[in-house]
Amino acid sequence: MSAGIDKQLVHRRFRRALPTYAGHAEVQRRMAARLVAMIESAGAAPPIGRVFEFGCGSAMLTSMLFERHSAEAFYANDLVAESRAFVEQAVAGRPVGRLEFLPGDVERLDPLPGNLDLALSNATLQWLHEPARFFERLAGSVKPGGLVAFSTFGAENMREIATLAEASLSYRSLGEIAALAGAAFEVIVIEEEIVRQEFDSPEAVLRHIRATGVNGVARRAWTRSHYLDFLQRYRAAHPAGSGVALTWHPVYCCFRRKKS
C-alpha cells in the first residue's frame, strides 16, 4: 500500500545518511549526470545566471553542474540544514558569484528566489506533498525562457521493497509529472528508464537504503521475526545472479518557461 510522507521522518533519515549518501547513491549519481546533460541539450550555456537547486542534499548535482558551468548567483535549498557544508564544499573554487543556502521544507519556502534562469532538482520531487502547487509558485520565479530540470521516480521504483514491506511512496505517472508544467511551462523532454541493481543479499539492500536515506516512509520498527521473514521472502521472490535485485525507475523532465 502507499504510505504518506512524514517530512520529519524524511529529515531524520536523510540527515543520518548525509555522510554516506554520495558513496552509495549510484543510481542518483547517474541521474544527476543525465540532468546536467539534459540542461545542456536544452540550451543552457555558461554563465547560466541565477540558479536555484532544491533538495540539494550532499551536493552531488551541485558539484556536477559547477564542474561545467558558472553562475552569477546560486540558491541552494535542502530540508536538512547540515547540507550547507556539502554545498559550500561543492562550490568552493567554482565560478559562482554568490551563494545563498536556504534551509527547510521547499514547499514552505517563501518567497522562492526570483528572476531565475534555471531551477533544478535531483531525486526530490517524490517527497513533495503538493508538487502542482509548488510548480505554480515556481513559475512566478523563473524568467521567460528559463529552464526547470528535475528527476524523480516512477511507479516501478523499489518495487521489491513495496511488495514485501507493504509500504512505499505513491509515485506519479509520466502524465501526472508532465502535467506539472501547467499553463506556464512547455515540456521540452520527459523520459524514463528502468535500472536494476544487484546486491549480494537482502541485508545488503537494506544497508544501501539506510546509507542513502531513501526509506522515508517506513515508520514501524521491525521485530526480529518480521525482519527474518522479510529476508527470506526477498531472497525467494527477487533473485538475481548470486544475490538479489532492486529496481529503480528514474524519470527525467525539463520544462521551459513560456515567454507569453
List the domains of the chain with CATH numbers. Answer: 7-154+169-197+249-257 (3.40.50.150)
* pLDDT for position 44: 82
* pLDDT for position 218: 60
* pLDDT for position 165: 75
Give the global pTM.
Answer: 0.94
Q: Which residue in the block uniquely carries the three cell numbers 537494506? A: 206
Question: Whole-angstrom Cα distance, residue 139 to residue 84?
Answer: 25
Per 3-state DSSP, the chain is made up of helix, strand and coil in percentages (nearest 5) of: 40, 25, 35
Upstream peptide bond of 111 is cis (omega within 30 degrees of 0)? yes
Helices (H), ranges, the chain: 7-24, 26-41, 60-68, 83-91, 131-139, 159-165, 174-178, 202-212, 224-237
* pLDDT for position 46: 75
Q: Which residue in the block uniquely carries the three cell numbers 564544499? A: 89
Question: Whole-angstrom Cα distance, residue 226 to residue 138?
Answer: 43
* pLDDT for position 219: 60
pLDDT tens digits, the chain, 260 residues: what are they?
Answer: 345 788 999 999 999 999 999 999 999 999 999 999 999 999 887 789 999 999 999 999 999 999 999 999 999 999 999 999 999 999 999 999 999 999 999 999 999 999 999 999 999 999 999 999 999 999 999 999 999 999 999 999 999 998 887 667 889 999 999 999 999 999 999 999 999 999 999 999 999 999 998 875 666 678 999 999 999 999 999 999 999 999 999 999 999 999 97
* Residue 36 neighbours by CB distance under 10 Å: 20
Q: Which residue in the block uniquely carries the three cell numbers 526509506? A: 215
* pLDDT for position 80: 98
